[in-house]
Chain A
Amino acid sequence: MITPRHLLLLSAASFGLILQPARADEKPFRQMIDQEIKAAWQRENVKPAPRSSDAEFLRRIHLDLVGTIPTHDEARQFLQDTDEQKRAKLIDRLLEDPRFAQQQASVWDLAIFGRQPPGGEVTRRRDVFQKWLQEKFAKNEPYDVWVKEVLNAEGNTSEVGPAMFYAQFRNQPEEAAMAVSRIFLGTQLQCARCHDHPFDKWQQLDFYGMAGFFARLVFVEGGNANQRSMLIGEKRTGEVMFSGPVTEQVPGKKGTPVQAKFLGSTPLEEPALPAGFKDVEVKGAKTFPKPDFSRKEKLAEWVVAPENPYFAKAVANRVWAQFMGRGVVHLVDNLSDKNPPSHPELFEALSKELKARKYDLKWYIRELVNSETYQLSGRGESTDAAPRWFERARVRPLTAEEILAALRLATGYDQGVKPGEKLPNAGNEYFMRYFGEPLNGRGDFQASLNEHLFLNNSSNLRQMIQAKKGNLADTLATSKEPAEERVERLFLTVLSRLPRAEEKERFAAHLTTAGQKPEALVEEAVWALLNSAEFRFNH
């Protein structure tokens, strides 16, 4: 069935492009997803988890779409709601929430820069870039359009959002080639830097051919002590030099220039230099004129072109993994003949449809999270964080940003901050240090002792859980409600679910322990929930 909303979307998406005609019997895309996933369960003889409970779904969808947990009132309301369409309605509402754009920008910012981006002071604070990207998601600008803008970026990082991308790669065209291939084309080139790739088809000349597109970028550092910045421009001359396998290098060996070449495709055709051409002076430049022929512009065009064999697949797979826990090709940045998809037909369909929808990520995300696959329970026997056959919901640690947002919201830390006011610092740098990199190089969760020392003993967490006028602990400590009701409030606020019978009994008994101050008991109870795996993970 096609819903009216769906038709609306179709007509909006088909504006200006030729789409296959929408037929009345055409299934929503989400059903196609579920069909493919179920077919694999049958083939592989895998038993799926049941549908998620409302509480599981509620917490998961909030974290995934808006980067934090629901409030107590939102949780209670959703759990009591008897509308059969309440999940789809909640999804629609959250997709229009301003925090949606913020959360997606945060996910992509992390994918593009990581926690320790090269570029020193310049790339450490990326407010301008992040704001720029948020606007893209707020407008739902097609993915290919904003990626092209990133790859074409030039100007000053303090003014031009996307310019920050290249600021990571000052005078390192090789690093830029690896990053562009990995992030936007899902392709691992780095082995081919030093030798022909041992497991893949890439050769050193593929690598240096890609690097050639970035060889002419120029960088001028500027800014003030408060915020360093980088001016990005492009010259008309300059080549990457190639001198063979790294094992055959000897001191003093000079390379030969390599022609810029599109990955797995043709060399770049370049017009000859105008007679008597003199390139721009980099040192001390305030602006750079656009060269009459720009290599990065050609690359940007090629990356997002419909014929590009990697671009649509890479983004379809990456966003799939963002919500489903692992790519249909896993790892997401390793599309390769040697690393086939777990669900080949699904894999084809995802990128084909996303491309047909003009890279409308909001449409795509809506389909993913409305699928039965996404809405499976996290309960079940499988011990993998993200099971290969998607037979159970994935488990992922909250990011540092999500932890902090969820803690602030759950504990009522920002009570009294007026809308639009800047939130007080809650020890953000500690949260970055202890929660910033929860995964190892393989994407597995790595528990850290320091994280728990911080949770157990720091005043940073304690100031959130101690009673302070209007916050959660204060509300619970001063409430006249019976203990059982206060326990319900506590669980709905922190874990977005009602307590189990045993929990209700034990926590109620705890809150009324004789001879102890209510504030101290409440603090302990809040601490216990915040330290649970249930709070630490998105499940």
Chain B
Amino acid sequence: MNPLCPVREHVSRRAFLKASLSVGGAAVANWGGLFNSASLAAEAKKQGMRCILMWMNGGASQIDTFDMKPGRPTGGPFRPISSKVAGTQVCEYLPKLAQQTDKLAIIRSMVTSEPDHPGGITSMHIGYRPEVSIAHPELGAVIAKYHGKPDSDLPTFIRMGPAGNGGPGFLGPEYQPFSIGRDGRLPPFSDAYATAESEKRRSDLLKLVEDGFTQENKADPYGAHRLAKEKAWRLLKSKGIFDVTKDWPKAKERYGDSEFGRGCFLARKLVEADVPFVEVGHDNYDSHADNFVCHKANMNQLDPAWSSLLIDLQERGLLEKTLVVWMGEVGRTPYINNRAGRDHYIRAWTIVLAGAGVKGGLTYGETDIDGKTVKDKPVTEGDLFATIYSALGISPRTKHMVGTRPITVAPERSVAVADILS
């Protein structure tokens, strides 16, 4: 054993495996999944947590949404409106969300490191600056690892629309994102050519061969292989959940008739079904020109989708277990360029969290009068990820061995924003 590897992980895994194997035939179907997740779930302080990431692809403007500067040269034409929380104002194009601000923790002091899209998309999905030599896993992969339910039929890391580009990194293909189309369409090879009878005949033959083989051959990889096969079968059985055509006509009245709204609705259904991580992308924020036209149109979609999602999660008792993150790869400049656009800006921008015990009804950090700099309490992408992981019961100092090098899930020197965590 590599002396740098934590002994704990090896031992607990092995011990668990023995325990589950002794249960007999019935348990064998799942034991690969159990050892992958049960001991891991024990490492997470909270169980069954979920996360929905609303990804504002291109980078949403903080000044036109949650950190408004009315009357200043940087302020733009939008007006602020009061919200449910006294003293917290949001943009006039977020009227429904304004009624949900008691659930929101608005961080107005983001200071990040990657000013452009590919780098920003990566770093805001992995919590690190991109590195050549280490493939850090995305948020979704980490959450899938620690909160994935072993006996669920569904994938543990799902995304739709424009989304992250980092993948599972060193966590490996088990935590690969399961990408579905913006309309909920499943990935390649999700449609069976075999009829149900044919599938049963061939899978019965396979089980016979597998049972015979694994009676004498006990190595771990065989179980993992079998589990993945069963997941593939179970996905076919459960894939109906991705089809929301029946519920959508009614739901779209509340979520708004947009791809993003439909994505948020599907995300709600997926976390209800115990999927631990869903990312829903929302496009067209990169408003180097016509910033205000873009943002008005986007908020018209964002407002009903986001607010309905929060309401539905709360009604179902899921909000306390589900972290809803609103962010993109960059913020936008306070100054307005000569095409009525705003460019990329990473020195003072805003992201919003809700649920999973995050304190609602507050704003954290502050920018100056024109929104150009952070006056107080800067938060880096590392700090943000430490906060997200903490809210989900995963210690930011959780280590993974990459070759011989221990890598924490959030950067070594990152600090979770304690003020917004309960």
Contact = CB atoms under 8 A, between A and B. Distances in A.
A175 B134 CA distance: 12
Given A439-B172, A458-B188, A520-B198, 13 more contacts: A188-B403, A188-B405, A190-B405, A331-B404, A381-B218, A395-B221, A440-B172, A446-B173, A446-B224, A457-B189, A457-B190, A533-B217, A537-B221
Contacts of A442: 5, 401
Interface string A332-347: 0110101100000000
Interface in A406-448: 437-442, 444-448
A434 B208 CA distance: 25
B225 A525 contact: no
In order of increasing CB-CB distance, the 6 nearest A-B pairs are: A440-B172, A447-B228, A452-B232, A528-B205, A441-B170, A445-B221
Chain B facing A: main interface SS: helix
B38 to A, nearest CB: 16
Interface stretch (A7-15, A366-374, A468-476, A498-506): A498-506
A536 B225 contact: yes
B222 A448 contact: no
B235 A449 contact: yes
Interface in B165-206: 170-174, 176, 178, 187-194, 198, 201-203, 205-206
A460 B27 CA distance: 33
A535 to B, nearest CB: 9
Contacts of B5: 442
Interface in B1-43: 1-5, 14, 17-18, 32
A457 B203 CA distance: 13
B193 A118 contact: no
B213 A524 contact: no
B400 interface: yes
25 contacts: A336-B404, A339-B4, A379-B216, A381-B218, A382-B218, A388-B1, A395-B219, A395-B221, A445-B224, A445-B225, A447-B225, A447-B228, A449-B232, A449-B235, A450-B187, A453-B190, A454-B189, A456-B192, A457-B194, A500-B212, A525-B205, A531-B206, A532-B206, A533-B217, A537-B222
A383 B17 contact: yes
Given A178-B133, A510-B201, A537-B222, A459 B193 contact: yes
A452 B231 contact: yes
A447 B219 CA distance: 14
Contacts of B202: 524-525, 527-528
A339 B224 CA distance: 28
A447 B155 contact: no
B140 to A, nearest CB: 14
B205 A441 contact: no
Interface residues of B, number: 63
Given A381-B218, A453-B189, A510 B205 contact: yes
A459 B134 CA distance: 35
Interface of A: 118, 172, 175, 178, 188, 190-191, 199, 330-331, 333-334, 336, 338-339, 378-385, 388, 395, 397, 437-442, 444-459, 462, 500, 502-503, 506-507, 510, 513, 520-521, 524-525, 527-529, 531-534, 536-537, 539
Given A331-B2, A520-B198, A441 B403 contact: yes
Contact of B173 (A448, A458, A527, A528): A448
Contact of A378 (B173, B174, B219): B219
B210 interface: yes
Chain A CB within 10 Å — which of B155, B189, B190, B403 has the most? B189
Contacts of B192: 456-457
B402 interface: yes
Nearest to B14: A383
Chain A CB within 10 Å — which of B32, B208, B226 has the most? B208
A342 to B, nearest CB: 9
B132 interface: yes
A452 B201 contact: no
Contacts of B172: 437, 439-441, 444, 446
A524 B201 contact: yes
Contacts of B173: 437-438, 440, 446-448, 450-451
Given A439-B172, A448-B228, A506-B205, A334 B400 contact: no
Given A118-B132, A459-B193, A500-B212, A379 B405 contact: no
Given A533-B214, A534-B213, A449 B228 contact: yes
Contacts of A175: 132-133
A388 B5 CA distance: 14
Nearest to A190: B133
A530 to B, nearest CB: 9
A199 B194 CA distance: 54
B229 interface: yes
B209 interface: yes
B219 A385 contact: yes
B115 to A, nearest CB: 15
Chain B CB within 10 Å — which of A118, A450, A455, A537 has the most? A450
Contact of B178 (A440, A449, A458): A449
Given A118-B132, A190-B133, A453-B189, A334 B403 contact: yes
B220 interface: yes
Nearest to A437: B173
Contact of B400 (A388, A441, A454, A525): A441
A382 B222 CA distance: 13
Contacts of A529: 209
B237 to A, nearest CB: 12
A438 B228 CA distance: 13
Contact of A447 (B32, B218, B233): B32
A386 to B, nearest CB: 9
A427 to B, nearest CB: 11
Contacts of B198: 520, 524
A451 B235 CA distance: 13
B132 A502 contact: no
A331 B403 contact: yes
Contacts of A439: 172
B193 A457 contact: yes
